[in-house]
Amino acid sequence: MAKHKILIIGGGTAGITVAAQLKRKDKKLDIAIIEPSDKHYYQPAWTLVGAGTFDYQKTIRKEADYIPKGVEWIKDKATNILPEKNTVTTEKSGDVEYEYLIVAPGLVMAPELLPGLPEAMEKGVVCSNYTDPEHTWKKMQEFKGGNMVFTQPTTPIKCGGAPQKIMYLAEHYLRKHGLRDKSNVIFATPGTVIFGTKEFARTLNKIIAERDIIFKPYYAPVRIDADAKKIYFKYTHNIEGGCVVEENNPINESLVSETEIEMPFDFLHLAPPQAAPKFIQDSQVSIQEGANKGWVDVDEHSLQHKRFANIFALGDVAALPTAKTGAAVRKQAPVLVENLLEMMKNHKIGLASYEGYSSCPLVTGYGKMVLAEFKYGNERDSDPFLSKFVDTTKEQWSMWILKKYGLPFMYWNLMLRGKA
């Protein structure tokens, strides 16, 4: 049986960043990464791909180019974690034993959790930057007017702001191409507000009002009829007499029952439901019951597993009350590395603490962006240095340049090399 001092499941943003930082701290560390994919994707740029302003091929690089030197690459799928045996099972490579395990396989798309969505995606009726941003751009160019609907599921999703970023870009596209007066732009969300952090919500609410975007909170998508081009929502707000939909409303939505709404669409973009990989859900490392069932059970500050002291997790798969973004990983990785190295050296957890930092570069149009940074409790957590020069709560051209050029450069050349 193969055995490694440190075993990492996942060669995405989280796994590679942690491996690179560990190797920079100690080149002699015995580390292996289990990752089946030949390709590494820079997914934050997919919003821009979906709006026709970034080349999809430039978001893809060879995984082999980013496995840190001296780290063994087990090119395979993990199939189970057996924490009591300190073992990970794989599809083809047998069992792999570890002294310390870092769980970072990310999450998976689960369109089957929304009835009608797999069929709608197969027929090309709906689009999603999460799965095929080039198709989003194609559908945007084909759109000639009507209901342009953007929505997201009730499950956790990676980058919670992404469903509205493409909406702002699409609305700007309609204005640039003389289609805005023929179109209704609708953002329907199970959430109660446009954004959880009030300083950024103020700006976004102003944008929505100024651009005549129809905001529909408490709208949880429940099914899609691809042939009829209709999406159905459950209205989740408890009001007396059920939900209220006005007759002869401009978007032609109608009540199907007291709490269900039918909405026709001519263009539909959504974030598919998302979940932890099945082998994680089925493993003892996941939370077994409750709201976070299926996600890895870690301490929200130390990133150490709550029940298995030699296991850590970060990134999208970790049950942390913050947004699942690459920016979150950038702050989680050094905390995990410091705490793990202290554990290896002195058999006790280190003092490094992750405070929930995440950020959402909210593209609000071509050439405009709001950089929303926050931490646990939806409290604003903007970079003090950056805030001296730029009000990140307002739309900025400089932030657009950061999104389109600065962040990709930092990702490929600094973050994945363990330098940022």
Residue 405 is given by DSSP the state: I
Residue 234 contacts residue 114 (beta carbons within 8 Å): no
For 31, the token pair is 């580390």
Contacts of 281 (CB under 8 A, 6+ apart): 275, 293, 294
Among the listed residues 132, 117, 104, 139, the one whose alpha carbon sits nearest the alpha carbon of residue 43 = 132
For 93, the token pair is 């490579």
Residue 153 contacts residue 221 (beta carbons within 8 Å): yes
Distance from C-alpha of 205 to C-alpha of 195, rounded to nearest angstrom = 9
Q: Spot the catalytic one: 48, 78, 231, 360.
A: 360
Strand order in the sheet with 379-380: 358-365, 368-375, 379-380
Under the phi-then-psi rule, with left for phi > 0, alpha for psi from -120 to 50, and beta for the rest, what region is 359? beta
Distance from C-alpha of 168 to C-alpha of 70, rounded to nearest angstrom = 44
Residue 207 contacts residue 165 (beta carbons within 8 Å): no
Residue 78 contacts residue 290 (beta carbons within 8 Å): no
Distance from C-alpha of 171 to C-alpha of 178, rounded to nearest angstrom = 11
Q: Spot the catalytic one: 19, 126, 159, 362.
A: 159
Distance from C-alpha of 106 to C-alpha of 319, rounded to nearest angstrom = 11
For 335, the token pair is 């905390």
Residue 71 contacts residue 19 (beta carbons within 8 Å): yes
Query: How open is the CA angle 97-282-162, to the nearest 5 degrees?
Result: 105
For 261, the token pair is 């709404």
Distance from C-alpha of 380 to C-alpha of 182, rounded to nearest angstrom = 37
- Catalytic residue list contains 127: no
- Catalytic residue list contains 243: no
Beta bridge partners of 379: 375
Residue 90 contacts residue 74 (beta carbons within 8 Å): yes
Cα torsion angle, 367, 373, 379, 385, sign? negative
Concatenating the DSSP letter of every residue in 352-396 gives ------EEEEEEEETTEEEEEEEEGGGEE---HHHHHH--TTS-B
Q: Cite the active site residues.
A: 159, 360
